[in-house]
Structure 1
């Protein structure tokens, strides 16, 4: 029963089928094939907007290259202090930005607010000794499993416009957020002021397929060359595009995300009903963050449940993790079986009953 992440499972059947179909025969290399042309047109349909699309193999590449296109070497990119771009990518964004820096701000649930970002920007010195802010990056879904609402994105966009910043979204779990909000891709991105998107698909059914989606043509200038220099213009690029064709076909990507979100809610509801268990943050997508007793944590692990401990940095002010408690993260994927979720809950209920009887 593995709940370590949603990137530990393989690809879904429609993605693999599309990949096998694209594998036959010879096609032009380096994105000159018809499959790549089709998928780029499909992105424009999905987002209801003319877009520039760059297919890459990893989310780190998507984030680093996207940010490098909007932040000059002397610039500053603002993000949450726990954002993937600053905390989990070994400095790749700063490397590809050629010396530009990331500034991490605090925020409950790993979320930034318009007020906190505005206050930070207004407090920066304007002298040449200070790197000027050039971009804002948010994670959708956040590292604490929370989803930015459309009004929150729009408010952050207004701050960006007021200060001349480009607005980037790290959408590693993009469609999980769409399912939660019940909105369209356009409504969650450019209609709220997003300029450039790291579009994630690997966590939701692809083998290794991500994309940089640019809504402002001026920001796309040079991205072809940046991708090439980063080793992300692959000779057999059709095999990335084919994954995305299978992913998008018949709303398969939505089906996968609905499944993951639904089972995360089932797991969250079941755990939060147990005595002594509470949620660090609401379950808004496919990640669950319970605070539980160390004895229950041990019982789950001994029962074969795998998951990660988590940080309490972004807890609400009224919340804390006690000395005899643990904050953990369980992630549900498109491939998670409902039986496994119910088995986790059985183990947890049984352990809670034993502890109550002692």
Structure 2
């Protein structure tokens, strides 16, 4: 039973089949093939407007290149202090921004609030000695498993406009957030002021399928060159693009995300039935963050359940992890089996009952 992440499982059958079909014969290289053209057009349909699309093999590459188009070497990119771009990408965004910096702000559940971002921006000196803020980046879903509502996104977008900043969304779990909100891709992005999006499919059924979706035309001007220099314009690019054809066909991507979210909800609801278990943050997408007794934590590990411990930095005010407790993260994926969820809950329940009997 592996709940360590949603990037530990392989690709889904429709995605793999699309790769097999795209593999046959010869096609133009470096993204000039008909499949890539069709997929770019499909993105424009999904987002209800003309967009520029640049394919990438990894989410790190997508984030780093997207931000490099928005932030000059002398600028700042504001994000949450636990954002993936600042905590998990080995400085790649700063490397590709050629010296620009990331600055992380606090926020419950790894989410940023518009008024707090605005207060920080207003506090910055306007002199040349201070690097000017040029972009805001958020993770949708956040690193605490929370989802920004359209209203929250709109408020952040307004802050960006007031401070002449670009608005970037790290959408590694874009589909999970989308089905949680029940809105359209347009309503979760450019209609709320998002200028550029890292669109992730790898965590939701892709093999290695990421895309930079650009809503602000001026940000796309140099991305072809930046992508080439970063090794992300792949000669057999049709095999990246084909994954999106399988991903989007028959709303496969949305079905995958709904399943993952449902498995997380089932897991979350089951754990909350156990004494001594509570959630650090609500389960809004496909991640669960329970606070549980250490004895239960050790029992799950001993039974072979795989998951990760988690940081306490973004806990709600007044919430604390006691010495005999642990905060963990459990992630459900498109491939998570309901029987695995129920088996984990059975192990947890029997462990609690055994401890009560002792």
Q: Distance in 1 between matches of 2:56 and 2:86?
A: 20
Alignment of 1:232-243 (within 5 A): 232-243=232-243
Identify the residue that residue 132 of structure 1 maps to in structure 2.
132
Identify the residue that residue 346 of structure 2 maps to in structure 1.
346
Q: Distance in 2 between matches of 1:32 and 1:159?
A: 38
Alignment of 1:111-122 (within 5 A): 111-122=111-122
Identify the residue that residue 62 of structure 2 maps to in structure 1.
62
Alignment of 1:107-186 (within 5 A): 107-186=107-186
Identify the residue that residue 328 of structure 1 maps to in structure 2.
328
Helix, strand or coil for the counterpart of 1:143? coil
Identify the residue that residue 88 of structure 1 maps to in structure 2.
88
Identify the residue that residue 356 of structure 1 maps to in structure 2.
356
Alignment of 1:310-321 (within 5 A): 310-321=310-321
CA-CA distance at 1:355 after TM superposition: 1.3
Identify the residue that residue 103 of structure 1 maps to in structure 2.
103
CA-CA distance at 1:303 after TM superposition: 1.2
Identify the residue that residue 20 of structure 1 maps to in structure 2.
20
Identify the residue that residue 299 of structure 1 maps to in structure 2.
299
CA-CA distance at 1:105 after TM superposition: 0.1
Q: Distance in 2 between matches of 1:273 and 1:283?
A: 15
Please give the root-mean-square deviation of Cα atoms over the aligned residues, in Å: 0.4
CA-CA distance at 1:272 after TM superposition: 1.1
CA-CA distance at 1:196 after TM superposition: 0.1
Q: Distance in 2 between matches of 1:228 and 1:320?
A: 47
CA-CA distance at 1:214 after TM superposition: 0.2
Q: Distance in 2 between matches of 1:190 and 1:325?
A: 42
Q: Scaled by the length of structure 2, what TM-score is found?
A: 1.00
In the TM superposition, what whole-angstrom CA distance separates every residue of 1:9-67 from its partner, at most 9, and x where no partner exists? 00000000000000011111001100000000000000001100000000000000000
CA-CA distance at 1:318 after TM superposition: 1.4
Identify the residue that residue 217 of structure 1 maps to in structure 2.
217
Helix, strand or coil for the counterpart of 1:186? coil
Identify the residue that residue 193 of structure 1 maps to in structure 2.
193
- The unaligned stretches of length 5 or more in structure 1 are none
The runs of 4+ residues in structure 1 deviating greater than 4 Å are: none
Q: Distance in 2 between matches of 1:273 and 1:155?
A: 36
Q: Distance in 2 between matches of 1:277 and 1:355?
A: 14
Q: Distance in 1 between matches of 2:79 and 2:271?
A: 31
Work out the number of aligned pairs and report it: 358
Q: Distance in 2 between matches of 1:356 and 1:183?
A: 45
Helix, strand or coil for the counterpart of 1:69? helix
CA-CA distance at 1:284 after TM superposition: 0.3
In the TM superposition, what whole-angstrom CA distance separates every residue of 1:53-83 from its partner, at most 9, and x where no partner exists? 0000000000000000000000000000000
Identify the residue that residue 205 of structure 1 maps to in structure 2.
205
Q: Distance in 1 between matches of 2:167 and 2:180?
A: 22
Identify the residue that residue 10 of structure 1 maps to in structure 2.
10
CA-CA distance at 1:152 after TM superposition: 0.4
Q: Scaled by the length of structure 1, what TM-score is found?
A: 1.00
Q: Distance in 2 between matches of 1:306 and 1:192?
A: 37
Helix, strand or coil for the counterpart of 1:184? coil
In the TM superposition, what whole-angstrom CA distance separates every residue of 1:258-301 from its partner, at most 9, and x where no partner exists? 00000100000000110000000000000000000110001111
CA-CA distance at 1:304 after TM superposition: 1.4
CA-CA distance at 1:351 after TM superposition: 0.4
Helix, strand or coil for the counterpart of 1:31? coil
Identify the residue that residue 255 of structure 2 maps to in structure 1.
255
Q: Distance in 1 between matches of 2:181 and 2:47?
A: 16
- The unaligned stretches of length 5 or more in structure 2 are none
Q: Distance in 1 between matches of 2:278 and 2:132?
A: 41
Identify the residue that residue 41 of structure 1 maps to in structure 2.
41
